[in-house]
Structures are given as structure tokens and as C-alpha cells.
Amino acid sequence: MKKLLFITPELPYPPQSGGKVKSLKMLEALGQRYEVTLVSPLKLDDADHRPAFEAQSPCVQHIHRRVNVPRSAKSLVSSYLRGKPLNVHRSYDAALAQQIRRLAPSHDVIFLDHYEVSAYLPDNYQGMVVYHAHNAYHQIWDRYARLPGNPAFRLAALAESGRVRRAEHQIAKRADLVFAAPNDAELLLDSGIDAGKIAHTYHLGDDSQLELPQLEFASTEKKLMYVGLLGWEANVVGLLWFIENVWPRLLQEHSDLTFDIVGKNPDQRLMDAVAIYPGIRLRGFVQDLQEVYRDSRVSVAPLLFGSGMKVKVLDAMARGMPTVTTPVGAEGVDYVNNRHLCVARNAEDMAQATLQLLKDETLWTRMRDESRSLISERYTWSQLFASMHDAMDTALLQQHSEYETTHQSNETLQHA
């Protein structure tokens, strides 16, 4: 069995965000084919979750170091001095890099999970390098920079977008195989990355929900739902926009409408906005999301910036919960508008789509069935990992073939 070094910027546990869900699922799939050694910094409360993670981990070895570099102005300045994008700087530890240099020669594959760990790749590594681009992160910074707000923050975000774009391009160019979502792959192609080394991947949701009984319109309440990390800026900004611009419009026609927002660590701005409206409830972390799904009528995902496929949207589709989102929220999904999702480009469109789903049982039922059907046909973990394994097998064979050709050529020259 070949040996694989999996490097990721944080402990992929507990799986409470799309990125961690994908990394953990990826580790489980790789562990069936490779001897996997996991390397990751430990950030925030990662160390508290390490015992629970390692008790179920598919890895043969775990290597960690505590890294505590906050997201701050001081860290941003330090990142410029060290010539690294902010999040690469925040994930880097010299002692951890030294351990990786010692381990690398004995491993057939180095799997870089996020561009943020690109600085850990040894310069002289001879094995296969796989880059797993969770998102086009430069696009997140760029879109944030174009939103209204503090001019200094917007300027800093625009500059960071350029630094991240260069870092993503450099590691994609160095890698032998790049996994990226279709929309992110297009950006890599535009930057000059060879199409032959790019294979498609996705951020997927909880496809086990496909096995649950279907939801029924008559069993729901006049209630909206949202699930996401409430300290993540993209989620906070989107929810604030929805509460300010869409929610009052909905109340004009349904004064008894309620809205459950589920997620950990809500930003203070969000708590202040919610306090104005008694119908909006911050539910915090909910262990069993089915209790929220069962009596909700519409899921909303009002995202104004971000990148890649959104797990909150895919989860709702897999459950058969009709969903209203934005073009950013629907990115990467091969949807038909008003069939699989309602995709709104402005506040009025989002309000109208939501109001229609609140009252139109026929539309609601059709979208429930069509969204589940699309997830079942196109977006399950088993389908995804089968294609990713095929791509890695092909890349390994190609690398081995190139090595044999080079080796034979060298032998011929030596005997000439």
C-alpha cells in the first residue's frame, strides 16, 4: 500500500463546516487505499477535539503543532514581511515544516488540502503532489473588497486577493494533479494552468439525508430556516443583508412568519440585528438538524460573496427542503432555476421567491422532489470519490511511466 502525507491547515474535526466535512470525508476515502499520515496545525480549540478525532481517524499517524496566529492587523503586516498571504502565514510553523521535510521522502504522495498549506511542500520532493483547492479563495477576498464598507478594509482585501491568486496559481502549477470545483477550475485555466492536470471535485453535503422520508408541505409551519457558521464573515454579511432588505418585505404579507437561524458563535452584529425582530430566533448549535427541517417551509441562503459549492445549499436540497439563494449560493450546482433551486439576484426577487414557496404547495412539492433527484444523480460522496480515486490512479501511473522513461534514457546515455 502506498504512503500518503495529508497536510491540512486545521484539525478536520468536528465536521461542523463544509471544509471540515470535505477534509474528513476525503481522509476516510484515502485511508481505504493509502497509509495516510495526517499533518496539521492545531488552531483555536482544535487541541480539545484531538482525542475524539484520533479515536476514529483512518490515519496511521498524526502530527500536530499548536499554531496561534490571530487574524489581525499585526499578523497581516507580518505576512507581508514574510512574503506569504495572510492565511498561509497563519497556518505555518517552522518546526512542523521541518518534520514534514523528514517525512516526505518516505511518502509516495503529498496531498495539500487547501492552498494555505502550500508553504509546507519541500522544494526537493520527488513524489506526486496533489493540490486540493477547496475554493478559489482569491475570489472570496475580491468579492468582499467590492462590497460597501470601510475603504481601508476594502483596499486591504483587494490587495490580499492578488496575493492569494498568485499563491493559488503557484501551487497549482507545481502540483501534478489539482482537484477543483468546475467554476474554480475555470479560473485556474484562465490563469494558465494545464487542463490535463485538473480534475473536478465538489463540496458536498450530508447525502445520507436522501434515505430519510420526504418532507410534507402540510406538516411544515410558516417558518424559514438557515444553517451555517455565524462567525464566518460571508454568512454574517449575507444574513444582515437579508434581515435588512428582505425580512421586512416578507412581514408585510406574513406578520406571523418566523425564522430559525442555526449555528455557533453568532457575530455581535447579527445578534443586534435579530434583537429588533421577535420572529427571528438564533438557535445556536442544534445537535439534530432534522428537528429544524421537519417543520420549516423554506431554507434561505443569502450569500453575497464566497466561492465554491455551498454545503448549506446542498444539504437542504438533499433533504428536499425548497431553497432560495443567490447566484453565489448556487455556484457549482448544475441547477435549473425554479426547478431545483430559486436563485434571486436582488432583494425583491428573493422576497418574491420566498413568498411564492410559502404559499404554493405545487411548486414546493415539485422543488422538493427535483432537488433530491439532482443530488442523488450528481452529488453523492460515493460518486465523487470514485472519480477522484480514478484521477489519482491515472496521475500515479503517468508519473511512474515518466520516471521509467527518464531512467531508461539515463541508462542509455551512460552506456553510450
The enclosing H or E element of 199 equals strand 198-200
Q: Which of 149, 176, 204 is the last residue of a domain?
A: 204
Interatomic CA distance for residues 365 and 377, integer angstroms: 19
For the CA atoms of the chain, what is the radius of gyration?
A: 23
Interatomic CA distance for residues 181 and 309, integer angstroms: 8
Q: Same domain, yes or no, for 181 and 234?
A: no
How many residues can be counted in the chain?
416
Whether 416 is covered by a domain: the verdict is no
Give me the amino acid identity at 218.
A
Whether 402 is covered by a domain: the verdict is no
Q: Same domain, yes or no, for 215 and 362?
A: yes
Interatomic CA distance for residues 358 and 148, integer angstroms: 31
Q: Same domain, yes or no, for 191 and 213?
A: no
Q: Same domain, yes or no, for 225 and 367?
A: yes
Q: Which of 189, 204, 219 is the last residue of a domain?
A: 204
Burial class, 72, CB count within 10 angstroms (exposed 0-12 / middle 13-18 / buried 19+): exposed
| Domains held by the chain: number | 2
Q: Same domain, yes or no, for 107 and 76?
A: yes
Interatomic CA distance for residues 379 and 377, integer angstroms: 6
pLDDT digits (tens, 9 = 90+) for 250-300: 999 999 999 999 998 899 999 999 999 999 999 998 989 999 999 999 999
Q: Which of 204, 228, 248 is the last residue of a domain?
A: 204
Q: Give the phi and the psi of residue 281 in degrees, each rounded to 5.
A: -120, 125
Whether 278 is covered by a domain: the verdict is yes
pLDDT digits (tens, 9 = 90+) for 86-126: 999 999 999 999 999 999 999 999 999 999 999 999 999 99
Are the CB atoms for 95 and 65 separated by under 8 Å?
Answer: yes
Q: Same domain, yes or no, for 153 and 177?
A: yes
Angle at 388 between CA 387 and CA 393, to 5 degrees: 100
Among 187, 283, 310, 304, residue whose Cα is nearest residue 239: 304
- β pairing state of 223-227 and 258-262: parallel
Q: Same domain, yes or no, for 186 and 234?
A: no
Interatomic CA distance for residues 321 and 298, integer angstroms: 6
Whole-prediction pTM value?
0.82
Q: Same domain, yes or no, for 361 and 234?
A: yes
pLDDT digits (tens, 9 = 90+) for 50-92: 999 999 999 999 999 999 999 898 999 999 999 999 999 999 9
pLDDT digits (tens, 9 = 90+) for 170-213: 999 999 999 998 888 999 999 999 999 999 998 888 899 999 99
Domain holding 42, by residue range, is: 3-204
CATH number, position 315: 3.40.50.2000
Cβ count near 327 (within 10 Å): 12
Whether 411 is covered by a domain: the verdict is no
Among 4, 87, 72, residue whose Cα is nearest residue 41: 87
Q: Same domain, yes or no, for 114 and 218?
A: no
Q: Give the chain's mean pLDDT.
A: 93
Are the CB atoms for 323 and 343 separated by under 8 Å?
Answer: no
Q: Same domain, yes or no, for 357 and 216?
A: yes
Interatomic CA distance for residues 134 and 132, integer angstroms: 6
Whether 393 is covered by a domain: the verdict is no
Query: What per-residue confidence (pLDDT) applies to 296?
Result: 98
Q: What is the DSSP letter of 415?
A: H
All three cell numbers of 329, joined, read: 449560493
Whether 412 is covered by a domain: the verdict is no
CA torsion 350→353→354→355, rounded to 10°?
120
Residue 49 bridge partners (DSSP):
none
Q: How many CA atoms lie within 13 A of 117 on its CB side?
A: 29
Q: Same domain, yes or no, for 194 and 229?
A: no
Q: Same domain, yes or no, for 195 and 216?
A: no
Residue 299 bridge partners (DSSP):
225, 323
Among 91, 64, 95, residue whose Cα is nearest residue 75: 91
CA torsion 394→10→23→393, rounded to 10°?
10
Whether 13 is covered by a domain: the verdict is yes
Whether 10 is covered by a domain: the verdict is yes
Query: What per-residue confidence (pLDDT) applies to 94?
Result: 96
pLDDT digits (tens, 9 = 90+) for 229-244: 899 899 999 999 999 9
All three cell numbers of 228, joined, read: 451555517
Cβ count near 109 (within 10 Å): 22
Among 30, 39, 49, residue whose Cα is nearest residue 8: 39
Q: What is the DSSP letter of 337?
A: B
